[in-house]
Chain A
Amino acid sequence: MEELLQQIFNGLVVGSVYILMAVGLTIIFGVMNIVNFAHGEFYMLGAYFAFILVNILKLNFFVGLIVASIVVGLFGIIIERIIDRFGNMPETDYIYYTILMTIAISMILSNTVNVLAGPAQKQILAGISTAPIQVGPLIVNTYKLLVIVIAFSVGILFGLFLKYSKFGKAMRATFENKEAAASVGINTSIVNMVTFGIGTFMASIGGILVGAMFNIFPFMGTQANLKAFAVVILGGLGSFSGAIVGGTMLGIIESIFSGYFAVGYKDAVSFILIILVLVFRPEGLHRRVKR
C-alpha cells in the first residue's frame, strides 16, 4: 500500500508537467483551431534556454525559469504570427495545413538545436536539494514538491486570469465561438497571439522543470508532445478541466505501470490508453467537447 502511495506521488510529479503541456495545447486548439505539433519544441527550447541561463550564465534557477519561459512565450508569439500570416486558406483545409506547418516548424526547431547544441544529454543544475524527506509513508524531496507547487501555481494563476480578468473573458469568448467573439468587437488576432504565447510559456516551464529533474536533449520535445496529445485526448480535445484531470491520471497510471510492470513500456501506456479511450469513450473523460 505504501508503495502504491509512492507511485501515486511520483505520478503526480510527472503528471503536473503533463498538465502544463496539455493545458497549453488545449487553449491553442480551442482558441485558434491549430493542432500544435510543435508544442513539444517550445518545451525543449525553454529547457535549453534555461540551461544557458542557469548552467552557463550562473543565474538563479527561478530567475532562469521565468526569463527563459518569457522568451519562449515571445518566440511563440512570433511563430503564431508566421502561421497566421501564411495560414489563409479554405476552412476545410485549415487543420490539414496548419498541422503540416507545425510539423515543419517542429522539424526545423528540433533538428537545428540538434546541430547547434549536439545530441548529448545535459542537465539543468537547479541547485535545489534532492535529498529525500520522509513525509508519513512517502519519500519525497524538495525538488519534486517544488515541481508540483510550480505547475499547480501556474495552472491556478492562469485559471484565475481566465475567470476574473477582462482579457481572460475575451479568451474564453474566442474559445467558445470565434466568429461571435469577433463580431462583438474582441480583437481575435491579439487573443490568438496571447494564447499562443501563454501556451508556449507553460510548455517552456514544463520543459525546464523536467530538464532539472531528468535531462535535456534536442528531441525531448517529440516525446513530450505525444504525451501531451495523449492527455488531451484522455481529457477531451478542448476541455480545460479534462486536461488537468487527464494529465494527473496519465502521470499516475504511467507511474503505477512502470512500478509494477516493465519500465520500457511506460511510454506505450499512454498510446494504448488513447486507443482504449477512443474505442470506448471517444469524447474523452469530459463531455464538454468543442467541435
Chain B
Amino acid sequence: MKKNWLYLIGFAILAILPFVFSNQYKLHLIILIAINVIFASSLNLISGYVGELSLGHAAFAGLGAYATAFLALKGVSPWLGLIAAVVMTLVVSYLMAPVVLRLRGAYFVITSSAFQMALFYVASNWLHVTRGPMGLIGIPLPALFIPGFGSVLLDSKLSFYYLSVIFAVLIVIACKRLVASPIGETWVAIRENEKLAVALGIDRFKYVRIAFIFAGVFAGIGGWLLAHYVTVVSPDNMSFELIVSMILMIVIGGRGTIAGPIIGAVIVTLLPEYLRWMGNWRMSIYGVILFLLVIFLPKGIMQLWGTISQKGILADFVIPRKE
C-alpha cells in the first residue's frame, strides 16, 4: 500500500514539474530526457536483460522517425504516424530477428551494427525518398482531439512535456512489468547461463526475439516522439552517435535495472550542457568517460546503490536482476 502512495507522489511531482521548471530551455531538456529514457529503456531490454550488446539499435529509432515523417508530410495525422512507426518497427524487428539473433557475442554486435549502417547509408543516399542528409523537414505537431473541446494542437513545450513524459512513464512501466513477468525471468536465465537455460527446455530464440521486438518497437516510439518534437528527420536519427549515446546511458546508469536507464538518460542528456565549455573536445571526453566507466563502474551507477536499495519500493527499480 505504501508503494502505491509513493507512485502517486511520483506522478504528482512529474505533473507539476513543468510549473516549477517553467524555463523553456529546462523544459526542452526534460523533454529530451524523457525521449532518452525511452531509448535507454528499450536498449536495456535486449542489452541489459538478455545481455546481447545491440550496436544497431538506433536503426529502430530512426525507422520510427522516418515512418511517421513520410506519412505526416503527406498530410496524415501524427497519431496514425505513431501506429505506422509501431508497425514498421514491429515488422522490421520481426524479420531481422532470425538473421541477427542466431548469433551471439561478437557476431551479434557486428551484425546489428551492419544492419544499422546499411539503413544509415540507404537513408543518406536514397535522395528521391529520404532527401538524404538534407532530411525531411516541416513535420507537423500532433494534435489532441478532445470531444467537446475540439482540436488542441500540442505546439508548446508544456504540452509536449506532458506528451513525452506520459509516453516515457508508460514505457518504463511496460518494461518493469515485462521484466517482472516470467518472460523477464527467462531473459535473465538466458543471460546468466544460456546452456543451462536451453537444457531446461527454454527456447532461447523465442524469448530473445520477444525482447528484440519490444526493444525495437519502444525505440520506434521514441523515434516518433523525436520526429514530432524536432520536426526534422534526417539520417542522424539512426546514426552511430545515437547508439553510442544510448549505450552510454545504460552503461552509466546500470544495465539490467529499471532505474539504470532513467539515471543514465538524465546524465547523458545533461552532460553535453555541462560540458559545453569543452567545445570540440566533447566527443573525446565522452570517450574518456566511457572508458573510465567501463573500467571502474561497469555495472553503472546502480552499483553504488547496493545496500540501501535492499528493501521497499526502491528494490523494484534498483536491484539488478542478476545473481
Q: Contact residues of A with B, CB < 8 Å?
A: 29, 33, 35, 86, 89, 92-93, 95-97, 99-101, 103-109, 111-112, 114-115, 222, 226, 229-230, 232-233, 237, 262, 264-265, 267-268, 271-272, 274-275, 278-279, 282
Which residues from chain A contact B244 at a C-beta distance below 8 Å? 103, 107
Interchain nearest-CB distance for B9 vs A (Å): 36
Q: Which of A97, A103, A233 contacts B110 (CB 8 A)?
A: A233
Q: Is the CB of B283 within 8 A of A107?
A: yes
- Interchain CB contact under 8 A, B284 and A108: yes
* B303 within 8 A of partner (CB): no
**Interface contact B118-A271, CB-CB below 8 Å:** yes
Q: Complex Cα distance A282/B282, Å? A: 38
Extra contacts besides A268-B121, A278-B111 (7): CB < 8 Å: A33-B106, A95-B106, A100-B53, A105-B287, A112-B284, A229-B110, A265-B121
B109 at the interface (CB under 8 A from A): yes
A107–B287 CB distance below 8 A: yes
Provide the B110-124 mask, 1 if CB < 8 A to any CB of A, else 0: 110111011001101
User: Which secondary structure characterizes the binding site on chain B?
Assistant: helix
Given A108-B287, A222-B240 in contact, is the A97-B298 Cβ separation under 8 Å? yes
**Binding stretch for chain A, among B18-26, B141-149, B289-297:** B289-297
Q: Please name the residue on chain B nearest to A226 by beta carbon.
A: B117
Q: Are B121 and A271 in contact (CB under 8 A)?
A: yes
Q: Mark B61-87, 1 if CB is under 8 A from A, else 0.
A: 000000000000000000000000000
CB-based A-B contact count at 8 angstroms: 116
Residue from the list B114, B115, B288 in contact with A104, Cβ < 8 A: B288
| Residues of B267-308 whose CB lies within 8 A of A | 280-284, 286-288, 290-291, 294-295, 298
Q: List 12 A-B contacts (CB under 8 A).
A: A95-B106, A107-B283, A111-B280, A115-B280, A233-B110, A264-B124, A268-B125, A271-B117, A271-B118, A275-B115, A278-B100, A278-B111
Check if B106 sits within 8 Å of A29, measured CB to CB: yes
List A contacts of B247 (CB < 8 A).
Answer: 100, 103
A103 touches B122 (CB 8 A): no
The residues of B with any CB-CB pair to A shorter than 8 Å are 51, 53, 55, 98-100, 102-103, 105-107, 109-111, 113-115, 117-118, 121-122, 124-125, 240, 244, 247, 251, 280-284, 286-288, 290-291, 294-295, 298
With A100-B251, A229-B110, A233-B111 in contact, do A93 and B286 touch (Cβ < 8 Å)? no
Tell me which residues across on chain B come within 8 A of A105, comparing CB atoms.
Answer: 287, 291
Chain B residues near A229 (CB-CB < 8 A): 110, 113-114
A289, closest chain B residue (CB): B107
In the complex formed, the residue of B with least CB distance to A29 is B106
The answer to whether B287 touches A106 (Cβ under 8 A) is yes
| Nearest 10 A/B pairs, CB to CB | A107-B287, A271-B118, A108-B287, A268-B121, A104-B291, A104-B290, A111-B283, A111-B284, A264-B125, A274-B114
Select the residue from A29, A229, A271 with max chain B CB neighbours within 10 A.
Answer: A271
Interface centre among B113, B114, B280, by most chain A C-beta atoms within 10 angstroms, is: B114
Inter-chain CA distance A89–B103, complex, in Å, is 22
Tell me the smallest distance from the CB of B215 to a CB of chain A, in Å: 16
Q: Point out the residue from B53, B114, B288 that lies within 8 Å of A99, measured CB to CB.
A: B53
Q: Which residues of A contact B294 (CB under 8 A)?
A: 86, 97, 100-101, 104
- Chain B residues lying within 8 Å of A101, measured Cβ to Cβ, are 291, 294-295
Which one, B105, B113, B288, contacts A226 given CB within 8 A? B113
- Return chain B residues, CB-CB under 8 Å to A29: 106
A265–B123 Cα gap in the complex (Å)? Answer: 10
Known: A107-B284, A271-B118. Is A278-B53 also a contact (CB below 8 A)? no
Q: Does A226 contact B114, Cβ atoms closer than 8 Å?
A: yes
The smallest C-beta distance from B39 to any residue of chain A, in angstroms, reads: 17
Min CB distance B6 to A, Å, is: 33
B56: min CB distance to chain A, Å: 10
Most chain B beta-carbon contacts within 10 A, residue among A92, A93, A96, A230: A96
Residue numbers in B under 8 Å from A233 (CB-CB) = 107, 110-111, 114
Q: How far is the CB of B134 from chain A (nearest CB, A)?
A: 14
A275-B121 contact in complex given A97-B298, A222-B240, C-beta closer than 8 Å: no
A265 & B283 in contact (Cβ 8 Å cutoff): no
Question: Does B240 contact A275, Cβ atoms closer than 8 Å?
Answer: no
The complex places the Cα of A96 from the Cα of B110 at a distance, in Å, of 12
Closest partner residue, chain B, to A222 (CB atom): B240
